[in-house]
């Protein structure tokens, strides 16, 4: 991890609404990679999408802003945002 830990932020996001079956996970990965975000995204059994995102503060803020609206074919009714400890993650995976 080449970036100083104090410049990093990690969050757990849980999106509800029409978020499964609309390309949310794949677009989240595309957004994360464009922003230099590490972490993962997965569908949950309760119909929501869960993500962990870690990167520079500003980049994580932009990722959260994207996640509030989601992909074009879906919509986000509610987005839970919880700060997480910064960990040594690399890449962004679809689970």
| Active site members | 25, 43
Do 14 and 48 contact (CB within 8 A), yes or no?
A: yes
Backbone angles phi, psi at 42, to 5 degrees: -150, 155
Sheet holding 38-43, edge to edge: 75-84, 8-18, 49-56, 38-43, 92-94
């Amino acid at each position: 991890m080449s970036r100083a830990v104090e410049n990093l932020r990690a969050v757990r996001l849980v999106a509800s609404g029409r978020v499964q079956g609309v390309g949310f996970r794949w677009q989240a990965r595309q957004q994360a990679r464009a922003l230099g975000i590490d972490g993962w995204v997965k569908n949950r059994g309760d119909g929501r999408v869960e993500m962990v995102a870690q990167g520079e503060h500003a980049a994580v803020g932009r990722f959260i802003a994207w996640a509030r609206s989601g992909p074009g074919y879906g919509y986000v009714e509610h987005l839970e945002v919880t700060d997480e400890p910064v960990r040594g993650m690399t890449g962004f995976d679809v689970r």
